Structure formats: C-alpha cells, structure tokens
C-alpha cells in the first residue's frame, strides 16, 4: 500500500501534434513529484492504440532530428468497464494484470482526438477525474470558429474572419475567393479550424495564394478559417482555474518576438528554428498587464474553462485582440505556459501539483 496518488499520464494520440504531446509527457515525467504521485504512462499510438509505455522521460524528449513517438509495443491498456471502478488493467504477452486504481488522469494530448473533448467524454463515461477543461470547453477551445464566436459575444475583440467548409470550397471556390477578398484584408492567415501548433497554417500576401493555402489547411480539417492578419506584438498569458469557489488566476505575460520569419510556425515553436525569441516576462505597463489578465480570465470563463489554458493576444495600436485559447497548451519545461507561471512564482513541479490538486478538488 502507498499514500501516493496514482496518475495516468495520457499522451501521444492520433493528431498531427503527436510528437509535441510526447515531448510534453517527457517534461511531466521528469518533473512530477514522485513522493506524492505514482505515474502510469499511457501512450496512444498514431493509430489510436492505448499502450503502457516505459516511465522514462528520456524516451520522449523532443529532438528535431528524430521526433518522439509512441510505438506499439504490444501492450493494451483497458479502461474501467463502468463507473463503479477505477481499476486500470493491461494485457501484455497474452496475460492481463491490474495496474491498480487510478486517482486521476492527466491527458496531455494536443489537437483533435484528445484536446477537443473526445478523450474528456470517454473519461466522463467511466467517471474518472481528469486534469483540464471538460467536454464543452475543450471542444470550444479546439475550434477556432466557435471560440471566436463565443468571445465576440462576450465583447472580447477578435480578428475578422470567414469560415469555409470543404464542401463550399469544392463546389464553389470562386464564391469563397470573392467573399474573402471583399470582407478581409491582406496579409491574411489561412488555418484549419481544429488544429494547433501552427500545423496547416499559411500566411498569404496575395489572394492568388489562397487556393494553395486552403488546400494545406483542408489536409488537417474539413473547415478552414481565413483571417485578416493583425499587426501588433504577439503576447501570451497563462491561466489557472481555481478550486470550487476560487477565482480564475492569470500569470505574468510572455512575448514572442519574431525576426526573419513570416510567423510563429511549427519549426519555430518546437524545432529550434532561428528568428524567434521568447521573452518572459513581457515588457508591458502595469495597466497593459492588468487589462490582458482581465481579458484572459474573461475569455477562459466565457468558454467554461477549467484547469488551465494559454490565451494568445496581439497588442495593437488600438488595444488587445485575442487570437486563440489553448485548453491544453504546450507543457514542456520551456513552453510559454509553464514559463509564465515560473515567472509568477510557481515552479514547474509545483504547477503540475497544483493542476492535479485543483482537478481533484473540482471532482
């Protein structure tokens, strides 16, 4: 018997952000307090197989030359059969054994089939507590169109946009081109509605580039956002949901300073490509930081967020514009979300502990 809590760390997954999720797992595995928690590393392969993975952070460390992945090692994780038990089992070499009861699941999945409410719904079905937002907030945060719709309704400034379905594009692309060029300004960004880490995102400076950009985005999702580019500083803030009765908290801000790149793309975020400098804390006036924190908390509460999120802004000459909300942001030790909290006085291991504690309190 042990007094430690059993945490099922869920990572990998079917999305194009599989490797980033693995890198996040490496950070958590290396930093989580082993005197308080027993970790069960559950890796989801790119094909969606739930496997028991080694408890070894080095296996999943981010390497630009060899991105980490969850390999199918033949094991099969079995979730509880009903809400009457929290027992996790694994089949290995033809035999099934118990991994014990799970106290909480930590789903550090990015992108569709994980960050979008699907895994959260599965865990709800068997009544397993988990870290992070619930089904609705996860779905809203993943879908850029509906995030913007909700934030706009809450009175929060967002960039002008138009959403296009694959059907609309395939049946009448000329109408899409005409509407986009009439309603939006260049430069523009073309994005999958439901993807992260800048996967499938293109910046266009001429409407002649729209076709190729839409096709790139449609490779990731069947709905695409065409969005007017916003001129301003790129600043981000980390948010933590509170225990029942506690207010949502916001960190200091970080800034992404871009030089020599078109935008903060996947290579710059994760593969150490040149042209990007992450500054934390950002150089903001007390009034600017207070406004940003207020907007971040308002946005988080507007989508019904729980646990954690990173809210991304542009600071323009006319004030702040929210770009998006990430309900499961990058969580490696050098990612902006933990960095913002470290600069706010909460260390990486303490942040992990806080997320688990808050999730258990809310459960």
Active site residues: 17, 197, 270, 310, 312, 324, 326, 330
Pairing of strands 276-279, 249-258: antiparallel
User: 88-91, long-range: CB within 8 Å, 24+ apart, which pairs?
Assistant: 88/8, 88/40, 90/52
Beta strands in the chain (DSSP E): 5-12, 37-44, 50-52, 76-78, 87-92, 95-101, 104-107, 161-165, 188-192, 202-204, 223-228, 233-240, 249-258, 276-279, 308-316, 319-326
CA gap 323, 156 in Å, rounded: 11
Cα-based distances in Å from 118 to 85, 101, 102, 188, 301: 21, 22, 19, 30, 21
Under a CB-based contact definition with an 8 Å cutoff, are residues 224 and 200 in contact? Answer: no
CA quadruple 211, 217, 222, 227: dihedral sign:
negative
Q: Phi first, then psi: what are they for 21, rounded to 5°? A: -60, -40
Continuous segment of H or E residues that includes residue 141: helix 135-142
Handedness of CA 327, 20, 359, 52 (dihedral sign): positive
Spatial distance between the Cα atoms of 20 and 11, rounded to a whole number of angstroms: 9
């Amino acid at each position: 018997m042990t007094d430690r809590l059993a945490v099922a760390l869920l990572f990998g997954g079917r999305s194009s952000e599989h490797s980033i999720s693995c890198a996040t797992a490496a950070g958590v595995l290396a930093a989580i307090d082993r005197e308080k928690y027993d970790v069960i590393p559950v890796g989801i392969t790119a094909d969606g197989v739930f496997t028991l993975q080694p408890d070894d952070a080095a296996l999943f460390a981010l390497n630009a030359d060899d991105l980490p992945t969850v390999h199918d090692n033949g094991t099969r994780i079995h979730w509880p059969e009903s809400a009457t038990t929290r027992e996790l089992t694994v089949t290995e070499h033809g035999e099934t054994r118990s991994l014990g009861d799970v106290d909480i699941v930590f789903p550090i999945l990015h992108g569709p089939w994980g960050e979008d409410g699907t895994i959260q719904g599965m865990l709800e079905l068997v009544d397993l507590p988990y870290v992070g937002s619930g089904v609705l907030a996860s779905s809203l945060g993943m879908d850029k169109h509906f995030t913007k719709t909700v934030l706009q309704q809450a009175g929060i400034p967002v960039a002008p946009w138009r959403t296009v379905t694959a059907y609309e594009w395939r049946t009448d692309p000329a109408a899409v081109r005409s509407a986009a060029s009439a309603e939006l300004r260049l430069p523009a960004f073309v994005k999958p509605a439901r993807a992260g880490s800048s996967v499938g995102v293109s910046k266009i400076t001429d409407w002649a580039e729209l076709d190729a950009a839409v096709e790139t985005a449609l490779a990731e999702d069947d709905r695409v956002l065409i969005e007017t580019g916003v001129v301003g500083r790129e600043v981000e803030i980390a948010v933590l949901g509170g225990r029942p009765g506690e207010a949502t908290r916001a960190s200091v801000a970080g800034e992404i300073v871009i030089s020599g790149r078109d935008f903060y793309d996947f290579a710059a975020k994760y593969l150490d490509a040149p042209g990007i400098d992450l500054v934390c804390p950002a150089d903001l006036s007390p009034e600017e930081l207070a406004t940003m924190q207020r907007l971040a908390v308002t946005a988080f509460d507007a989508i019904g967020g729980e646990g954690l999120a990173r809210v991304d802004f542009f600071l323009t000459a006319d004030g702040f514009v929210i770009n998006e909300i990430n309900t499961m942001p990058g969580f490696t030790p050098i990612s902006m979300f933990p960095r913002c909290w470290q600069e706010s006085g909460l260390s990486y291991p303490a942040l992990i502990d806080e997320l688990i504690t808050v999730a258990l309190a809310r459960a």
